[in-house]
Amino acid sequence: MRLSQFGYYADFFISLALIATMLGLAILLPTWLMLGQWAMFAFVGTAGWTFIEYVVHRWLYHHVPFFRDVHAAHHAEPNAHIGAPPIVGIALIFAVFFVPSAGIHLTAASGLTTGVLVGYVSYMLVHHAAHYWTINPGSWLHRARRHHALHHHHSETCNFGITTTIWDHVFRTAVTSSGEQARSRLGAR
């Protein structure tokens, strides 16, 4: 779906505002132990996001008809503002992570959801940078951009990770800049 500039950038700012709000509330937790638990859940959410990002990009965006068609438009016009309508991603994150875990414990729900939102913002930022920014060669962001560019220009069957390449190595979908299948240190024989 083609978005206006407002629609394209809205999730960046809304997500950052939600992260800041939940972090602010976490700082007000009554004990250091609870703050530590919140931080642990936030870490788990951020790390878990990398797997969610890989799964959504590889299987949802490239195999499920409606999502595949929208994502194909992004591949056809990589610099166009194409994506989900504002708030949809954020609402899904709250529905999938906050709502079920809030029944267990609000600290866990808040930390986990904040972590997933941090991952989501990281994904949006790295993906945006890969398509729009001039990036200094040799930097981590430049390597992430090359990894994503190979997905667009070499083969849509590789390099699904945006914020990290770890899952591409785990599932052997990583392709190097020379177009060769990367040898995974995680289980290569």
Select from 159, 165, 162 the least CA-distant residue to 180.
159
The dihedral through the CA atoms of 104, 109, 115, 116 has a sign that is positive
Would you give the end-to-end CA distance of the chain in angstroms? 42
> Per-residue confidence at 182, pLDDT binned at 50, 70, 90?
low
Q: What is the pLDDT of residue 181?
A: 61
Is the pLDDT score of 21 beyond 70? yes
Is the pLDDT score of 186 beyond 90? no
Q: What is the pLDDT of residue 73?
A: 79
> Per-residue confidence at 109, pLDDT binned at 50, 70, 90?
very high
User: Where on the phi/psi map is residue 49: left (φ > 0), alpha (ψ -120 to 50), or beta?
Assistant: alpha
Average pLDDT (108-135) is 93
In this predicted model, which residue has the larger pLDDT, 78 or 118? 118
> Per-residue confidence at 107, pLDDT binned at 50, 70, 90?
very high
- pTM for this one? 0.88
How many whole angstroms separate alpha carbon 166 and alpha carbon 147? 12
Is the pLDDT score of 61 beyond 50? yes
Strand-pair partners of 2: 82
Average pLDDT across the chain, whole number: 88
Residues of the chain with pLDDT > 70, as a percent, come to 93
In this predicted model, which residue has the larger pLDDT, 55 or 144? 55
